[in-house]
Chain A
Amino acid sequence: MTSNIIKFIHEDRIIEVRNPDPSETLLNFVRTELRKTGTKEGCAEGGCGACTVVLGELKNNQINYIAVNSCIMFLPALQGKQLILVEDLISENGSLHPVQQAMVNYHGSQCGFCTPGFVMSLFSMFKNHGRFKDEVIKDSIAGNLCRCTGYQPIIKAARSLNNRNKIDHFTRNKQSIIALLKKINNKSIAIYKKDKKYFAPRYIQELKKILKKNIDSHLLSGGTDLSLIVTKERKDINSVIYMNSIEELNYIKNNGEYIEVGSTTPLIKFENYIQKYYPDFTAVLKRYGSQQIRNVCTIAGNIATASPIGDTLPILLSLDAKVVLKSIKKTKIISLNDFFIDYRKTKLKKGQFIDSVRIPLFPKNIFKAYKISKRFDDDISSVCASFNLEIINEKVKNIKIAYGGMASIPKRAKYCEKILLNSSITEPIINKAKEALEKDFKPISDMRASRKYRMEVAKNLLRKCFLEITQKKLIRVMD
């Protein structure tokens, strides 16, 4: 049964929004409808974190507190969740939450505009982690920009939380919130508003039916890129199918041969899982975007967006990943290598959706990935490189190299691979392989890097990869 009423929990009660404008952002709703102005707009593209709110999500009878960018989330995505705003952290007796108090005590705010966002990111950390090591702290706030403090007092505030009692009013209210969440978490959503349509099916079967009738719909799986059409280009998206309510697609399976990732699996879940197989994959994913972004975005979304600078794509290409495409009746498995056609064009046809991504396991292989960008955190790569190879009897075997940022699509370096295949690792071979990259790629200059730099770095990353292999250690600025 479908409904056009969005139900969510706010301030310990159920809020219903009847037939909303499906492309209204959550931030706009919070500021203008709920009239809570603590949550700020800094950039309207998920790049500064000033709009961070926390969503309580019911998972296995527990609440996950995930930080999200409300500026690039559409209101209907609230369906079935608890909305927590900076104002809600204050307890009934008016006292500040431990996170808020720590920020005051350690002088974590100066102009104060970014502060609510930091508070919410730290609140999510406070609820989801037992201990707050520097690594956890920095990862939690890497998507929050502050122009005043230089971050040191905020980190000190976060560290001080290690000594705080973890019980807060959210802990005390948890059971009643869980009961409320259970009450509202069961409807598929269909909204028709003027010429806009929005669907949030809960099952694959439903999705197929909707897709059949609404073949021109945009599929939204995370939506951290798609939403910019509304917030930046100021265009309407007439029909959206929101995939993230389909729990059947939120999974990671491993059959020993390959890992299969369902298309609505949030990146943050995947990055933790993949760590033990491909640690460099995780390292790049941590820098893919902020936690607010990785909490909602998906690998399938990154693949379908097909940006030449999508960070997962060169990695998946070098790992020879396959995409499982489904339509009403058919299932098609296609190699990612054949999937990208041209700038932001793929083989995904109307009526099809990405069901899952299969990532082969190469237990004997060496796998390395590098992301080069101006800024370490939450930046778009100038060049992203990924290497997957085996060394048998000192010869390079089964080599797959792929680059992002070097062409209009993420692409394998076939000429380069050819030089290296079956060769031993010598200086002349590496130099030849480096030269071959000039045949593989003709990069462009833009605001992130010049064509010359891109080519130079692409070559040097190849070199670095083999240096790291032969010297058996990492050569990296960030450990």
Chain B
Amino acid sequence: MIKEIFIQDKRPHESGAKHVSGYANYTDDISEPEGTLYGAIGWAKKSHAIIKKIDLKNVIKSEGVVAVVTSKDIPGRNDVGPVYDGDPIFPKKKVEYFGQPLFAVAAKSTELARKAVLKAKISYKTLKPIIKIKDALKKKSFVLKAQTIKKGDPVKGIREAVNSLKGEFTTGSQEHFALEGQVAFVIPQEDNDFKVYSSTQHPSETQQIIAKMLGQKSNTITVLVRRIGGGFGGKETQSFIFAAVCTLLAKKTKFPVKLRMDRDDDIIITGKRHDFYSEYEVGYDELGVIEGLKIKLASRCGISPDLSGAINARALLHIDNAYFLANVSVENYLCKTNTSSSTAFRGFGGNQGMMVIENIIDNIARSLKKDPSEIRRRNFYQKEKKNITHYGMKIEDNIIHEIFDSLISSSNYKSRQLNIKKFNLENKYLKKGIAITPVKFGISFTTLHLNQAGALVHIYYNDGSVHVNTGAVEMGQGTYTKIAQLAANELGLPFNKIKVSATRTDKVPNTSASAASSTTDLNGAAALNAIHKIKKNLASFVQRKYKMKNGEAIYEKGLVKFKGKSFRFSSLIKEAYLNRVSLSSSGFYTTPKIHFNKKKFLGRPFLYFCYGAAVSEVLIDTLTGENKILRVDIIHDAGRAINPAIELGQIEGGFVQGAGWLTMEEVNWKSNGQLITHSPSTYKIPAVNDMPEKFNVEIYKYGKNKENVVNKSKTTGEPPLMNAMSVFFAIKDAIASVDDYNTTPIISAPATPEKILMSIKKLERNHEK
């Protein structure tokens, strides 16, 4: 048996030196051929209306304009919807949201193109829009059929419980705000082929959508992505329309076209995180153990299904977070609204579902006047019993108790809680709060067939350097670095012998999106599979030539050690080449064990779970609602981390992004559906002073994936975001202190200064009574 070598190497990001010196190229930085044109999109200024006339005379006449495209220029499918139709590139008859693209221009410069689109005259017959979730529920306006999940008898559970509570809760939307906005750059090739550079998390689907739009075969479209400047789910499907429109402009003009979206247009046109509204009824015993739970869960999906089905399914699958629910039912409504189509965003509905249960548990604890941490712990899944989820999956890798308990102790939660209560007694206007929340997040695409990946590995004979290509998109998560680390380790080579090259549809086909936190798990494994195949070629060559029985070898420190004979890696490669051995291979991987019946909501949708917990302490000003995160302690499970430095970056960054979602980031629409938060001046993502003053983040020391995942690691893509739930509940705890913890504060996310102040006002009124 060959010993397994685990990697744990904190090396910097493979592009670190290029990032800091400005030489890392993004789509907008690729050098442009002579004659390149620049695009801009004209969009609707109504949220629901019949298009009477689109008059583009002045657009065409505008300085520098070379071509205009409308729905009439689309030869094939006029839709970029990933699963279902509903996302027209340019709608023909009806506008369904404020900001919906209607036409595009190509001009001599980006500035001229953007000026030109403003000159369109469009007449509409205005219809009444549906903007809010509650209005959609009332009017039964849905993008897909309602889903329900049920286990046990929640009605009975609630009825027979000694305590019960009812309430409602919402979490807000969130704009992705990747620092690199949406951009595509398309170069026409011979035979009507197109080379498409797109800032996308999903090159393969970009390729298919463009092919369908043009009525051409997929083999005529090549999509390339070296890196993107942040994705967070906002470029999983929302990048498609820009790549499609850009290709349409290139087809019409026969010139290269670049379409780089202005930040405001980008935010106005693209979809965001689903905001969720929930109503719940819960029954629980005197110790706070949940005995029955009924939830109605509705999300704002915007105009089309997009990925809303899977996102809402993930919300249902995470309605338990880390808690065992014996009797539970969730009815889930996918509301159709006249807003941009809500889409993937780190957490993908999981975090929205988890916030619902966390708020319920917090309310149970407050109603029993208990420390919420105790009630949380008491409801946790157990190891031997109480370990079956509401969708019938047995949890085999539960480490939430270990993480939770060690965090309680390392963060001094108990003593700090006492100090905070003392502080609150002594201070009338400034109040502190503290909370600990757990995270359990399931890993795998819930759509089974997406759990596959391919790779292509070449070893060059003259110097033994290695070229690795996979379907993974590098978006800052460090997947190229980690895949190169895996490859280097597998071949026993130094890191600098490995090159991971730009992801492109003509090297590795039929890839899944870089999403669902699975990118390195899937693509790393596929790369290793390709390497194994090459190793097999080498082994049989060595066995043949040197007449060995045993082909097993250890690849280590540039050497390949067979039993009885050792080679330098580069010499072996050269020798193999001269003996006509293939040094190139494709690789493939499919996630084992998973299965899921979507109709019955039963099965094992996840290969494994990621765990984490966070303690947050906040300070709020009860006169203004201003707040500050004073201290955060996190312990997060990364399995056996391939690159602890990269995982730490994901954990910290995910937390701050989650804190933004739950505190300051607020997406606002006017009642007519016009988005009014569409630039950094109106939409605020966390800046440096929003970081916790003290920020202690630890990767769980004993982490090791029970499942057979690369390096026994666990992903850190999405799960750390949910550690930020502790911030919201710490704020709620601080608010509760205003009324000496006698009343449960009513507050929804995001807890903006305004919401905090209004929640305090309600409590003060109680207090005065």
Q: Whole-angstrom distance between the alpha carbons of A316 and B114 in the complex? A: 39
Find out whether the CB atom of A456 lies under 8 angstroms from the CB atom of B761: yes
Find out whether the CB atom of B753 lies under 8 angstroms from the CB atom of A372: yes
B677 at the binding interface (Cβ < 8 Å) = yes
From 24 to 44 in chain A, residues with beta carbon under 8 angstroms from any chain B beta carbon are 28, 36-44
Chain B residues, CB < 8 A from A99? 20
Provided the pairs A89-B21, A111-B227 are in contact, do residues A40 and B180 lie with their beta carbons within 8 angstroms? yes
A-contact 0/1 string along B145-177, CB 8 Å cutoff: 000000000000000000000000000000011
A-contact 0/1 string along B219-254, CB 8 Å cutoff: 000000001111110000000000000000000000
Residue of B nearest to A138 (CB): B688
Find out whether the CB atom of B21 lies under 8 angstroms from the CB atom of A90: yes
- Taking A374-B752, A450-B754, A453-B758 as known contacts, 8 extra A-B pairs with beta carbons closer than 8 A to each other, sorted by chain A number, are A110-B653, A112-B227, A113-B180, A114-B229, A145-B179, A372-B753, A464-B429, A478-B626
Find out whether the CB atom of A100 lies under 8 angstroms from the CB atom of B681: no
Find out whether the CB atom of A475 lies under 8 angstroms from the CB atom of B114: no
Provided the pairs A110-B653, A148-B653, A149-B649 are in contact, do residues A457 and B752 lie with their beta carbons within 8 angstroms? no
- Pick the residue among A45, A114, A375, A453 that contacts B690 (CB under 8 A): A375
A270–chain B nearest beta-carbon distance, Å: 22
A192–chain B nearest beta-carbon distance, Å: 19
From 106 to 124 in chain A, residues with beta carbon under 8 angstroms from any chain B beta carbon are 107-116, 119
Q: Whole-angstrom distance between the alpha carbons of A457 and B181 in the complex? A: 35
B83 at the binding interface (Cβ < 8 Å) = no
List the one stretch of A59-67, A150-158, A212-220 in contact with chain B.
A150-158
Q: Whole-angstrom distance between the alpha carbons of A146 and B654 in the complex? A: 12
The CB with the most chain B CB atoms within 10 A, among A138, A146, A382, is that of A146
Find out whether the CB atom of A475 lies under 8 angstroms from the CB atom of B227: no
Chain A residues, CB < 8 A from B475? 111
B54 at the binding interface (Cβ < 8 Å) = no
List, sorted by A's number, 13 A–B pairs whose CB atoms are closer than 8 Å. Answer: A28-B111, A45-B681, A47-B680, A111-B228, A150-B653, A150-B657, A234-B115, A370-B624, A374-B684, A379-B684, A461-B624, A464-B429, A475-B430
A48 at the binding interface (Cβ < 8 Å) = yes
Find out whether the CB atom of B476 lies under 8 angstroms from the CB atom of A460: no
Find out whether the CB atom of A378 lies under 8 angstroms from the CB atom of B687: yes
Find out whether the CB atom of B21 lies under 8 angstroms from the CB atom of A47: no
B-contact 0/1 string along A370-386, CB 8 Å cutoff: 10101111111010000
Chain A residues, CB < 8 A from B478? 110
A94–chain B nearest beta-carbon distance, Å: 10
B-contact 0/1 string along A131-171, CB 8 Å cutoff: 00000001001111111111111110000000000000000
B428–chain A nearest beta-carbon distance, Å: 9
Chain A residues, CB < 8 A from B176? 147
Q: Whole-angstrom distance between the alpha carbons of A382 and B429 in the complex? A: 20
B28 at the binding interface (Cβ < 8 Å) = yes
- Pick the residue among B177, B178, B757 that contacts A457 (CB under 8 A): B757
Find out whether the CB atom of A460 lies under 8 angstroms from the CB atom of B623: yes
A87 at the binding interface (Cβ < 8 Å) = yes
Q: Whole-angstrom distance between the alpha carbons of A43 and B429 in the complex? A: 38
B29 at the binding interface (Cβ < 8 Å) = yes
Q: Whole-angstrom distance between the alpha carbons of A39 and B21 in the complex? A: 10
Chain B residues, CB < 8 A from A150? 652-657, 686, 691, 695
Chain B residues, CB < 8 A from A377? 687-690
Find out whether the CB atom of B20 lies under 8 angstroms from the CB atom of A115: yes
Find out whether the CB atom of A113 lies under 8 angstroms from the CB atom of B754: no
Find out whether the CB atom of B627 lies under 8 angstroms from the CB atom of A477: yes
Chain A residues, CB < 8 A from B17? 96, 100, 104
Find out whether the CB atom of B688 lies under 8 angstroms from the CB atom of A111: no
Chain A residues, CB < 8 A from B477? 110
Seen from chain A, the residues whose Cβ lies within 8 Å of a Cβ on chain B are: 28, 36-45, 47-48, 50, 85-87, 89-90, 96, 99-101, 103-105, 107-116, 119, 138, 141-155, 232, 234, 370, 372, 374-380, 382, 446-450, 452-453, 456-457, 460-461, 463-464, 467, 475-478
Find out whether the CB atom of A145 lies under 8 angstroms from the CB atom of B621: no
Find out whether the CB atom of A112 lies under 8 angstroms from the CB atom of B476: yes
Seen from chain B, the residues whose Cβ lies within 8 Å of a Cβ on chain A are: 12-13, 15-26, 28-29, 111, 114-115, 118, 176-181, 227-232, 260, 262-264, 429-430, 475-478, 619-621, 623-628, 645-646, 648-649, 652-657, 664, 666, 668, 676-677, 679-682, 684-691, 695, 697, 752-754, 757-758, 761
The CB with the most chain B CB atoms within 10 A, among A108, A116, A375, is that of A375
Q: Whole-angstrom distance between the alpha carbons of A86 and B114 in the complex? A: 28
Find out whether the CB atom of B677 lies under 8 angstroms from the CB atom of A447: yes
Provided the pairs A149-B649, A477-B627, A477-B628 are in contact, do residues A85 and B22 lie with their beta carbons within 8 angstroms? yes
- Pick the residue among A47, A153, A154 that contacts B679 (CB under 8 A): A47
Q: Whole-angstrom distance between the alpha carbons of A28 and B676 in the complex? A: 27
Residue of A nearest to B109 (CB): A32
Q: Whole-angstrom distance between the alpha carbons of A44 and B267 in the complex? A: 13
Chain A residues, CB < 8 A from B232? 147
The CB with the most chain B CB atoms within 10 A, among A38, A370, A461, is that of A38
Find out whether the CB atom of A232 lies under 8 angstroms from the CB atom of B20: no
Q: Whole-angstrom distance between the alpha carbons of A442 and B561 in the complex? A: 82
Residue of A nearest to B620 (CB): A477
Chain A residues, CB < 8 A from B230? 111, 113, 147-148
Find out whether the CB atom of A447 lies under 8 angstroms from the CB atom of B20: no
- Pick the residue among A48, A109, A144, A460 that contacts B19 (CB under 8 A): A109
Q: Whole-angstrom distance between the alpha carbons of A144 and B690 in the complex? A: 13
Q: Whole-angstrom distance between the alpha carbons of A100 and B178 in the complex? A: 22
Provided the pairs A116-B20, A447-B668 are in contact, do residues A149 and B652 lie with their beta carbons within 8 angstroms? yes
Q: Whole-angstrom distance between the alpha carbons of A47 and B179 in the complex? A: 11
B230–chain A nearest beta-carbon distance, Å: 4
Find out whether the CB atom of B649 lies under 8 angstroms from the CB atom of A148: yes
Find out whether the CB atom of B691 lies under 8 angstroms from the CB atom of A112: no
- Pick the residue among B179, B624, B664 that contacts A48 (CB under 8 A): B179
Chain A residues, CB < 8 A from B757? 453, 456-457, 460
Find out whether the CB atom of A476 lies under 8 angstroms from the CB atom of B621: yes
Q: Whole-angstrom distance between the alpha carbons of A457 and B625 in the complex? A: 9
A324–chain B nearest beta-carbon distance, Å: 30
Provided the pairs A110-B653, A372-B753 are in contact, do residues A37 and B179 lie with their beta carbons within 8 angstroms? no
Find out whether the CB atom of A39 lies under 8 angstroms from the CB atom of B22: yes
A279–chain B nearest beta-carbon distance, Å: 18
Q: Whole-angstrom distance between the alpha carbons of A278 and B18 in the complex? A: 44
A99–chain B nearest beta-carbon distance, Å: 8
Find out whether the CB atom of B227 lies under 8 angstroms from the CB atom of A104: no
Provided the pairs A109-B20, A447-B676, A467-B429 are in contact, do residues A147 and B178 lie with their beta carbons within 8 angstroms? yes
B270–chain A nearest beta-carbon distance, Å: 15
B525–chain A nearest beta-carbon distance, Å: 23
Q: Whole-angstrom distance between the alpha carbons of A294 and B476 in the complex? A: 30
Chain B residues, CB < 8 A from A103? 16, 19-20
Provided the pairs A107-B649, A460-B623 are in contact, do residues A376 and B689 lie with their beta carbons within 8 angstroms? yes
Chain B residues, CB < 8 A from A464? 429, 623-624
Q: Whole-angstrom distance between the alpha carbons of A155 and B689 in the complex? A: 11
- Pick the residue among B13, B264, B689 that contacts A110 (CB under 8 A): B13
A299–chain B nearest beta-carbon distance, Å: 20
Q: Whole-angstrom distance between the alpha carbons of A254 and B623 in the complex? A: 36
B594–chain A nearest beta-carbon distance, Å: 29
A378–chain B nearest beta-carbon distance, Å: 6
- Pick the residue among A100, A111, A149 that contacts B180 (CB under 8 A): A111
- Pick the residue among A37, A110, A456 that contacts B649 (CB under 8 A): A110
Chain A residues, CB < 8 A from B677? 447
A96–chain B nearest beta-carbon distance, Å: 6
Q: Whole-angstrom distance between the alpha carbons of A234 and B264 in the complex? A: 12
Find out whether the CB atom of B753 lies under 8 angstroms from the CB atom of A374: yes
A53–chain B nearest beta-carbon distance, Å: 11
B339–chain A nearest beta-carbon distance, Å: 15
B699–chain A nearest beta-carbon distance, Å: 14
Residue of A nearest to B619 (CB): A477
The CB with the most chain B CB atoms within 10 A, among A111, A138, A467, is that of A111
Q: Whole-angstrom distance between the alpha carbons of A228 and B646 in the complex? A: 38
Q: Whole-angstrom distance between the alpha carbons of A375 and B625 in the complex? A: 12
Residue of B nearest to A290 (CB): B687
